[in-house]
Amino acid sequence: MLEVRNIRKAFGDCVANNDVSLTVEAGTIHAVVGENGAGKSTIMKIVYGFYQPDMGEIMFRGNPVDIRGPHDAIALGIGMVHQHFMLVDTMTVAENIILGAETGSTLNLDLEQAKKEIAKLSDELKLGVNPDALVEDLSVGAQQRVELLKALYRDAELLILDEPTAVLTPQEIGEFFGILRRMKGQGKTIIIITHKLDEVLAISDEVTVMRDGKTVAQVATAGTSAADLARLIVGRDVLLRVEKGEASPADVVLEVTGLRVEGKHGTAVEDVSFTVRAGEIVGVAGIEGNGQTELIESLAGLRPSVAGTVNLKGRDVTAMSARQLKESGIGHIPEDRHRRGLLLNSDLSENVVLGSHYRPPVSSAGMIDQKYVAKLAGEIIEKFDVRPPVRTLPARSLSGGNQQKLIIGREFELEPELLLVSQPTRGVDIGAIEFIHRKLIEMRDAGVAVLLVSAELEEVTALADRLIVMREGKIAAEVDPKTTSPEEIGLLMTGG
């Protein structure tokens, strides 16, 4: 179906792809894996026409093709679903799907016929998508299915999926894989860019491994293992489990009592009480949408509470702003790094001092000390292995995992007493996951109180010393992750 031959692509001095070659057989699911910044998304964006290669060629169905833009790719039968969805929230599912693919004039647009075609496609693949629903009212998993329909509506035969499960719950991932298998059964060819090796082994037929912009291997999935792939990805043996000693909890740093927080559709957090001590990680498990996001946002000062109290080391901080809370010693690694964590058009140096830009040592008398900022940015980039290590690059030019490492580096360097961490490894490669987990354990061992929210049950149970399970905005239970099975936690999460 697709053959990429000796592709090279550079952005200035940064070489993203260097002599990349891979072959994708028709009617298969092909995984592309590698560290953040390895060039996975770049090579696929070249196939989809977003970028033009500096060298090399692309063969599609055995013929050389010149793909000058997404329209060329779509005309060939190539579709792409991006890691960050490209949907208009205020429009319906049907309007989003036909946007850019309308037939006839806008005055004669047959939206009802389009809805019928969309409903038929949805039924064939058991997607369960309502063409009349507003996108802003859909869950993340449903929005993912809309993106799939958008590509299929344009008759895509080869579908490229960039980190498709990064924002899905375990239940949604299972449903999603069922959809991919049905698509494969209908003769579609699928390329999936991912960092989750268990998913690679579960869903793919072949795997291409990339490292430092190059193809280092292409192997049959049936003949490999997670450890083999990890070694190829990183170039060394990777610890696939969290190693940590026993925690030594000290004084209570955070005490939450009777907290109630409103969300978009009513009460999101109801009568929640718990503590976090210095030197421990308290995990919060739960299916996404059960109040975890609103809880963290409230504690970070991004969303007001309507009842209850929050005490930081015995001091009432319930009504404090986000700035006041940060000054009081609270660090925050947000769930949505684009909306909450970064200024995407600003460079890495500017992003490194977000939240501390107005006070010494970053600034004095209203003037920012550019030498200090440059030094600090260089130290964080080196210490947290941000790639490419160029502080003048805009944040949007980094891969998702490197954006995450930049945020984590910024918050860690502030030396907080309480660290609020939400989805720390979402969209992050295996080498960076190992790095981030190790850093969180180091923070705990240095006496920081850590409150961790993760949709990855394996991650939160491995890192947490105590585990809170949330369901429908309330605490369903507090358990010991060392002695409670994933099945028991799953039942608590679902109310089973």
Q: Tell me the per-residue pLDDT of 315-363, one tens digit each, with 9 for 90 and over.
A: 999 999 999 999 999 999 999 898 899 999 999 999 999 999 999 999 9
Report how far residue 208's alpha carbon sits from residue 5's, in angstroms, rounded to the nearest whole number.
Answer: 14
Does residue 119 sit within a domain? yes
What number of other Cβ atoms are within 10 A of residue 447's Cβ? 16
Residue length of the chain:
496
Domain boundary residue among 234, 265, 300?
234
Please indicate, yes or no, whether residues 217 and 353 belong to a single structural domain of this protein: no
Does residue 243 sit within a domain? no
Interval 235-259: pLDDT, tens: 887 766 788 999 999 999 999 999 9
Interval 36-80: pLDDT, tens: 778 998 999 999 999 999 999 999 999 999 999 999 999 999 999
Mean pLDDT of 466-476: 96
Please indicate, yes or no, whether residues 228 and 257 belong to a single structural domain of this protein: no
How many structural domains compose the chain?
2
Which pLDDT band holds residue 104 (cuts at 50, 70, 90)?
low
pLDDT exceeds 60 at position 296: yes
Please indicate, yes or no, whether residues 152 and 285 belong to a single structural domain of this protein: no
pLDDT exceeds 70 at position 169: no
Provide the CATH number for the domain around residue 343: 3.40.50.300
Does residue 312 sit within a domain? yes
Does residue 244 sit within a domain? no
Please indicate, yes or no, whether residues 413 and 286 belong to a single structural domain of this protein: yes
Please indicate, yes or no, whether residues 195 and 287 belong to a single structural domain of this protein: no
Does residue 240 sit within a domain? no
* Mean per-residue pLDDT of the chain: 91
Domain boundary residue among 178, 207, 234?
234
Domain that holds residue 59: 2-234
pLDDT exceeds 90 at position 265: no
Please indicate, yes or no, whether residues 338 and 479 belong to a single structural domain of this protein: yes
Helix-helix angle 400-413:430-445, to 10 degrees: 10
Please indicate, yes or no, whether residues 291 and 187 belong to a single structural domain of this protein: no
Please indicate, yes or no, whether residues 222 and 307 belong to a single structural domain of this protein: no
Please indicate, yes or no, whether residues 408 and 480 belong to a single structural domain of this protein: yes
Does residue 23 sit within a domain? yes
- pLDDT for 107: 60
Please indicate, yes or no, whether residues 224 and 259 belong to a single structural domain of this protein: no
The pair phi, psi for residue 126, each rounded to 5°, is: 55, 50
Mean pLDDT of 404-424: 94
Interval 227-236: pLDDT, tens: 999 999 988 8
Does residue 241 sit within a domain? no
* DSSP-derived pairing of the beta strands 305-312 and 315-316: antiparallel
Does residue 399 sit within a domain? yes
Rounded percentage of the chain residues whose pLDDT exceeds 90: 68
pLDDT exceeds 80 at position 376: yes
Please indicate, yes or no, whether residues 32 and 179 belong to a single structural domain of this protein: yes
Please indicate, yes or no, whether residues 275 and 173 belong to a single structural domain of this protein: no
Domain boundary residue among 169, 201, 234?
234
Mean pLDDT of 204-218: 95
